[in-house]
Structure 1
Amino acid sequence: MSLSMPPSVKPKVFGIGLSRTGTLSLTAALRTLGFDTAHYPADASTYATLLAGTARFGLLDRYDGITDITVVPYYQELDLLWPAAKFVLTVREEESWLRSCRRHWERPAGNKAALGEHYPDLQRFLRSAVYGARAFHRERFLRVARRHTAEVLRYFSGRDRDLLVLDVAGGQGYERLAPFLGLPVPDEPFPHHNDRSEQRR
């Protein structure tokens, strides 16, 4: 069941956590709460927006928000473009996160063509923009994660109504997310789209 609010008062929502911090689970939870969010979109318009660096994502004309590293480099611009927006920073215990990233980066590429013709170029662009590297590098990733969290917390300092820090892998879920969005807590489990055992490693 979707718990939604009237469109006239529904804010945009942006998930600005790094890869492997529960962004897909967050997307599913937001959809349950009535926010139609796009997770890591790879369409031509999004890629053009990334290259232009404007943060004026055309898909926000029809979606309530975007999650994952698509919006990580642009959260400040999105805050200016959408003054009433809500931001969710998903975080994760460092060692577990690094292991998950290593496995994700080292696994076979698979059929990326099925994700859209722009996906390979968009992925390369975002990994370079966010992590400063296309391959997994433990020390660099750790520095990036710590810096990103610190910068987001500093930017939103004193704005608790605009930023929620959520540790999905650590067990946090609707009990924090729903009130942050002004909605009741749904009577169902928070979605976990990656295996729980993998999240605990």
Structure 2
Amino acid sequence: MDLNQFRKISVPLCTASKSFNKVFGIGANKTGTTSLQAIFNILGLNVAPQQEGELHGVQAMKGNLRPLVDYVSKYDAFQDIPFSIKSTYAQLDALFPGSKFVLTYRNADAWFNSLHQFHRKIFGVPDEREIRREDYRSLNYLYPGYVDHMMDLNWTLEVYEEVSLKRNYELFYNPDHYKSIYRERNAEIVRHFSERPSDLLVIDLTQEKDTSRIVKFLGLPDDLITNIPHLNET
């Protein structure tokens, strides 16, 4: 049965059983976020278009949350940027009470290697050298400068002793630096939900045979349990 056929069954089942507000996939990119998006679709949820969320996420990071709030209000399920970075999850937790959050994760070494190889591929960088800033500065994804801005935002910013913010481009693809950010964010998420553990599911999709844990977490019928789709693997 293909997805469209299955959704003829899953959408009414999901709609009749859904008791949560929204569900956000908040795991870092390259932890199975594309597979999670597919799972949300299979379950019959109204999944938000990714690029629209990325654009509104830029405004949210600059202090204007209204476009992101309006976007989230229209759909059931979300993943990837801006939900996969920084503390966006905490803002949305306050703005959309009664929501559920799924933290996808994998071993930090495997995560970094996957991210590194994926970026090499999309930036067209040969194996014999490291990724350089000029490899992606001119990329025109969403709009000129978007990729450069997001790389800076996530990986180069440091707060120095004099409480000043600087960009350190020597940090690009430093394994210890990337893995430290990855581990710290995961720990912060778990800490944030420590008083409400039923609102957070921490899951390694590479270790799951089917969607039963996600279905149970969302309070949906067992009829919606399927095999785990594994997509966009690197």
Give the TM-score category using the shorter length. Answer: 0.7 to 0.9
SS in 1 for 2:215: helix
TM-score normalised to the size of structure 1? 0.81
Is 1:5 the equivalent of 2:15? Answer: yes
Displacement after TM superposition at 1:99 (Å)? 1.1
**Alignment size in residue pairs:** 193
Is 1:25 the equivalent of 2:63? Answer: no
Larger CA deviation: 81-90 vs 184-193: 184-193
Over residues 99-158 of structure 1, what are the superposed CA-to-partner deviations in whole Å (9 max), with x where a residue is unaligned? 101101222437964x53x3x544333333333468422111100111011101111003
SS in 2 for 1:165: strand
Q: CA, structure 1 residues 183+194, in 2 after alignment: closer, same or farther (shift >3 Å)? A: same
Is 1:49 the equivalent of 2:63? Answer: no
Q: Distance in 2 between matches of 1:7 and 1:48?
A: 34
Q: CA, structure 1 residues 78+146, in 2 after alignment: closer, same or farther (shift >3 Å)? A: same
Q: Distance in 2 between matches of 1:65 and 1:85?
A: 10
Structure 2 unaligned segments of length 5 or more: list them: 1-5, 125-137, 158-168
1:123 counterpart letter in structure 2: V
Over the residues paired in the alignment, what is the CA RMSD in angstroms? 2.8
Q: Which residue of 2 aligns with 1:124?
A: 148
Q: Among residues 53, 57, 75, which one is paired with 1:63 in the alignment?
A: 75
Q: How does 1:46-195 map to 2 (within 5 A)?
A: 46-52=57-63, 54=65, 57=68, 58-71=70-83, 72-73=85-86, 74-109=88-123, 113=140, 116=142, 118=143, 121-132=145-156, 135-171=172-208, 173-185=210-222, 186-195=224-233
Larger CA deviation: 122-131 vs 89-98: 122-131
TM-score normalised to the size of structure 2? 0.71
1:127 counterpart letter in structure 2: M
Q: Which residue of 1 aligns with 2:128?
A: none
Q: CA, structure 1 residues 55+95, in 2 after alignment: closer, same or farther (shift >3 Å)? A: farther
SS in 1 for 2:24: strand
Larger CA deviation: 54-63 vs 2-11: 2-11
Larger CA deviation: 16-25 vs 165-174: 165-174
Structure 1 unaligned segments of length 5 or more: list them: none
Report % sequence identity.
28
Tell me which structure has the larger Cα radius of gyration. 2
Larger CA deviation: 41-50 vs 174-183: 41-50
